[in-house]
Amino acid sequence: MNNSENKKLKKMINQLKRPPVFIFLILLFIVLFGPLLAPYDPLEPKPMNTLAAPSWNHWFGTDNYGFDVLSRVLYAAQIDFSLSLVGVLIGGGIGSLLGATAAYKGGFTDFLLLRFVEVIQSFPVLLFALALFAAIGGGNRNMILVIAIVNVPMYLRIIRSSLLPLRTAEFIDAARCAGLNGLTIVIKHFIPNAKGQIFSLFVLSCAYAIQIIAGLSFIGLGVEPPHPEWGSMINAGAGYLMLGVWWPSVFPGLAIVISVYTINGLSRQQMTHQIRSSV
Amino acid sequence: MKNLLEVKRLHVEIKSNDKCSVYPLQGVDLQVGLKENVGLVGESGCGKSMILRTILRLLPHGGYQIKGAISLNGNRIDKEDDNYFETIRGKKISMIYQDPVSALSPLMRVGEQISDIYRYNINATKVEGWNLALNLLESLGIVDPKKVAYRYPHQMSGGMAQRINIAMALVCEPQLLLADEPTTGLDVTTQMQVLELLHTQLIRLSASLLFVSHDLRVVKKICTKVGVMCKGKIVEFGNSSEVFSNPSHPYTKSLLECAQI
């Protein structure tokens, strides 16, 4: 009894020792409490103190408007993470539901949904987002919409193909035979069978979504300029790179790299964990 | 005697992509009376299961009924739409499957599966459904229903899983039970137990049974009437004692010879 408890504890500690989990916990802390940790107001420029090099007063230096880079990086973490999370939750939810429906219904519904997905996927992500922003304007809400729409096809395809074998499974037949309607079967029997895939995909697409948000903000779309966002901060600092002023763009860039790497690592770990526990 | 289920001159076609159709049923006539056990025997692929699937309209992709009539309690059901079938599946007609473990969802506790069917078909609360499931399991001879209801299908033996399946089929008290070789995957002693349970439950609900099997002994034992199928047709239909002791069709004779009953 005692031995098994010890083993559990050891296992947990070993999990924490893995770099992605450890870094992710730090990231989570920053996302949750970033605004409290930030030494300055990220929206209060100091025109007297522009492009100051990193020092004890400004750890990451200041940018061309005199904003404190560290504060802005911390605030931006919250914006980037929450936008990507909400977008992926919406897109992933709709995508999984449609994918499961396609797998369950088959035939014409399946055909229609797959062609719809192909149409969306045939546009490059950035071009698609650009068109959407041109049509409905920028802002956080539309950024979430873009993330959601970009994620729907991915989820739909993967969930559909992983659930396809269930269409002929006997217990699905038995469920229909017991008088359950289509929607109930999709939600009760199809979706739970793709739990693992949905979760892995969810983690991966969160990382992807952060990249998209940063990329769109870099070209001046999405999150509106005075608000801190990693992509737009890189863009703002990019003009001064040639002058040797590296800090306004390198620190947010580093933040993107670390977040995406950590989240991807988390998903890899989750997948290997899944494979091991299923054996 | 009035018939509960009547199937008349039923033809079914399954279309496949390469325009080469299969005709699994070619003019099937079948009657199941009230509180009557009817057996269907025949070789594999002769269309036994297809009859059950046509009755419930759960035909495989591309399958449809070309001709014939199916009536339940004197009302034709084969002209109704799919929504109507959702209202009778499980409530008036239900089905037991051949492989008990694969007919259960691997990700849900079995008690939940039984109570869910009750809850979806009859608007009941979760607690009502769960209690009913426990009662039903107990009446099906499961020793510790509270414990068993929390198990997953892979944690059970075949006999136990088949009892769960029977519970699922009976939970809404149907009038007609379709059994698609329910005892094929079980050993002889479990088979007898399951059949006896099925029999007592049928008497309790005063329901009828349409029993598909290729095990002639079982059919002889529990069915009052028997139909012998061959290549999509019922070649002989009558009281089981008569058919087994005095077969008239050459196919029935050869079938009985093979089974050595």
A205 within some domain: yes
The CATH superfamily holding the domain B3-259 is P-loop containing nucleotide triphosphate hydrolases (3.40.50.300)
User: Does A105 lie at the interface with B, CB-CB under 8 angstroms?
Assistant: no
Instruction: Render each residue's pLDDT in chain B as its tens digit; 261 residues.
Output: 578 888 888 888 888 777 788 888 888 888 888 888 898 888 888 888 888 888 888 888 788 888 888 888 888 888 888 888 888 888 888 888 888 888 888 888 998 888 888 888 888 888 888 988 898 888 888 888 888 889 998 888 888 888 888 888 888 888 889 988 888 778 888 888 888 888 888 888 888 899 898 888 888 888 888 888 888 888 888 888 888 888 888 888 888 888 765
- The tokens for B192 are 């007898």
A184 within some domain: yes
Whole-number percent of chain A with pLDDT over 90: 16
A31 within some domain: no
Which of 147-206 (B) contact A at CB < 8 A?
A: 165, 168-169, 172
At A113-153, the pLDDT tens digits run 999 999 888 888 888 888 888 888 777 888 899 899 889 99
At B134-191, the pLDDT tens digits run 988 888 888 888 888 899 988 888 888 888 888 888 888 888 899 888 887 788 888 8
Residue A149, number of CB atoms within 10 A of its CB: 19
- CB-based contacts of B186: which residues, under 8 Å, 6+ apart? B158, B159, B162, B194
A104 within some domain: yes
Give the pTM: 0.78
User: Does B242 lie at the interface with A, CB-CB under 8 angstroms?
Assistant: no
Structural domain for A112, as ranges: 65-278
A113 within some domain: yes
- CB-based contacts of B196: which residues, under 8 Å, 6+ apart? none
At A93-122, the pLDDT tens digits run 999 999 999 999 888 999 999 999 998 888
Closest-CA distance of chain B to residue A171, Å: 4
> Taking the C-alpha atoms of B85, B90, B95 and B101 in order, what is their torsion angle to the nearest 10 degrees?
120
Is the model's pLDDT at A70 over the cut of 90? no
Q: Domain with A117 in it: what CATH number?
A: 1.10.3720.10
Is the model's pLDDT at A86 over the cut of 50? yes
Would the CB atoms of A178 and B88 count as touching at under 8 Å? Answer: no
Size of interface A-B (CB pairs under 8 A): 68
Between CA A226 and CA A231, with CA A229 as vertex, the angle to 5 degrees is 115
Of B107, B121, B169, the CB nearest to A192: B107
A21 within some domain: no
Counting the structural domains of chain A, the total is 1
Would the CB atoms of A177 and B95 count as touching at under 8 Å? Answer: yes
A45 within some domain: no
Q: CA nearest A77: which of A29, A123, A115, A121?
A: A29
By 3-state DSSP, what share of chain B in percent is helix, strand and coil, each rounded to 5? 40, 25, 35
Is the model's pLDDT at A47 over the cut of 50? yes
User: What's the ipTM?
Assistant: 0.78
For chain B, which residues make up each domain, given as ranges?
A: 3-259
In angstroms, the CA B204 to CA B147 distance is 25
User: Does A171 lie at the interface with B, CB-CB under 8 angstroms?
Assistant: yes
Residue A261, number of CB atoms within 10 A of its CB: 14
